[in-house]
A and B are shown apart, each in its own frame.
Chain A
């Protein structure tokens, strides 16, 4: 889990681009897709994103490992839209309780593809971006306050630690005779108790970490940066690439007549 959060070993081209450029590309794609629920723009964006896999050092296997909750959520969202949306066009399946029609199927499919196309750039970004480099770029280039950025970065390390801690606390509670089985109510109580234990540990660790950071001089107004965050020509291409995918999705959907503004 903690190893999975680092990029150790990934030498793909996009790891060398500035995180801020990659972030801008992701934002432009997401912005277009957020505007319309239709399967044409989502499919176009997805195709463009798949083409970037090699450049980001991402494989389908890694994608599933890192993004399965998002992928499942997109599939689930698509399915529920399909069966619950108002029917239009020919009815394909009717169980009495719910039904699938051509119109609802198209909407559901669009919903799922859109979910995937929005989730994928974020996964792409994280798979070729070291969090430390992202923090450097956000503080040095985007001029976000360095206390906030570095504080968040240090806290992220604790998240990985907490995943291990969760497992340990679960075992420690079983060793006290408090199992996580039984009726749903008992399970809920067990989970709440375990969460409380984790919370206590998280607060303790966080306060110790804060002391460590303060003792290393953190929190002053002036600060230098050991790693300079720089832009290169590649970053221009990255931003242009993101805008290209966004523009192509928009154009394809308008041309196919499926463009469908969510708030229109």
Chain B
């Protein structure tokens, strides 16, 4: 990159552009016509499969070559030239914070992009200091370990690394989907501040319109290049100022799963309060993921003195800041981690002869009593076919598969029964991971951030489904930052503090 272009806002021009990934029959993007002026800020919406990420990857110059077997048509230009030849003109941030960090020390990581552009050493450090200041990370020493940063901090560090390249175009691919509400605002504000300063062009892909609406000056809605009928349709469905697009098509966007500000998706409400029979209790519980390596070694628990009760037909919502040990608590309560102190006690109504300590239960005894849905659905996939995946639980328990067909239908997975679980979309994976756990009919369901990064449709389905389960007498424990979600399920709340604890069912 030459000195004159560094930092100058970049313009994007797509003319009949299309891209088909190697080995795919249908193009990811087809016939895209889109002009973005230098310095414009665009929020890109669209159903999954509309090619949003593909467009961002292409602009970042990381899509691979035609000789991989992929197929490009039309033209996509960044300042009038192909993006691939312009390293550093565009900076890309992706969803998973862990893979946005490259090096193990904060300063080194922020410098990485500038190094690759062969920026002279003194200039690199000037840029690094400035970028860390802009994203609000200047308070950390340059040798601060990046592994000790929170998700929001990691994303802001990634932004600093991008800013240090002085790009003309900033591309954000669901940058806040894995973050808690505080982290979302941290990242959004850091993006706003730095763009105000550099004037760079922005393209952001995100389901949650409310977060970005005031920061962008244009919303573009993409749709898949081929309609379900097979007919060609224009890649850009809607294009205009945010308020106009939302007024015009708010209802349609909401129906497509976009989180339109002011619209909470319709859900089924709770209809009864549950029997309230005690199933599971935490008594003065301390939790930690670390295990002592030697006898007598003391590891300070991440959270101590937790007391909570899980009752049939009632929800328990676990909230608290990052690092408060919410997930660790949920895993301990679910019999997957040994308590670091205190105990988890299963009432006889739940244990049914298996003993009071869920951690000591055999795996197959556990799943028919307590089901756990992990934050990352892929962690729980153990087969290569959706149908097999659902049969795992019933097979372990020696039961038939009647429940499986019902769950497939109920969670709209029936057309995917033969698909590989890893190839599903984010929302489908989430629904499948819930269904697989429910196939074993547990009386207690534990969910870790079930609504993270989900579109509005999946959100509404999940919330309605859980309300139904609660009415039928299942106890639901969820770790969540989602206030609308917990309000809908009702029940008790357990708030874990950041340092020591102030708990107790509210």
> Which residues on A are within 8 Å of B, measured CB to CB?
2-3, 5-6, 8, 65, 130-132, 153-154, 157, 160-161, 167-169, 171-179, 181, 193, 197, 200-201, 204-205, 208-209, 211-220, 222-228
Contacts and interface: CB of A to CB of B under 8 A. Distances in A.
Interface of A is mostly: helix
Given A175-B371, A205-B98, A157 B112 contact: no
A105 B162 CA distance: 61
B374 A175 contact: yes
B374 A168 contact: yes
B227 interface: no
B422 interface: yes
A218 B378 contact: no
Chain B: interface size category: 35 or more
Nearest to B117: A217
A203 B90 CA distance: 25
B451 to A, nearest CB: 19
Given A172-B372, A225-B121, 9 more contacts: A161-B98, A168-B376, A177-B397, A178-B382, A216-B91, A217-B88, A220-B116, A220-B118, A223-B116
Of B96, B104, B115, which is in contact with the most chain A CB atoms at under 10 Å from its CB? Answer: B104
A174 B116 contact: no
Closest 8 A/B residue pairs (Cβ): A179-B363, A217-B116, A216-B113, A226-B111, A215-B92, A208-B99, A177-B367, A172-B379
A178 B396 CA distance: 8
A181 B366 CA distance: 14
B61 interface: yes
B40 to A, nearest CB: 20
Given A174-B336, A201-B379, A212-B94, A226 B396 contact: no
Of A132, A167, A177, A201, which is in contact with the most chain B CB atoms at under 10 Å from its CB? Answer: A177
Contact of A153 (B91, B103, B374): B103
B145 interface: yes
A223 B99 contact: no
B382 A224 contact: no
B103 to A, nearest CB: 6
Interface of B: 57, 60-62, 87-88, 90-92, 94, 96, 98-105, 107-108, 111-121, 124-125, 128, 143, 145, 147-148, 158, 161-162, 165, 289, 293, 331, 334, 336-337, 362-364, 366-367, 371-372, 374, 376, 378-382, 392-393, 396-397, 422, 436-437, 440
11 contacts: A8-B145, A157-B101, A157-B104, A168-B376, A174-B363, A175-B372, A178-B396, A200-B422, A201-B379, A204-B378, A220-B116
A156 to B, nearest CB: 8
A217 to B, nearest CB: 4
Contacts of B374: 168, 171-172, 175
Contacts of B91: 215-216
Given A6-B145, A215-B62, A171 B336 contact: yes
B337 A225 contact: no
Nearest to A171: B336
A132 B105 CA distance: 8
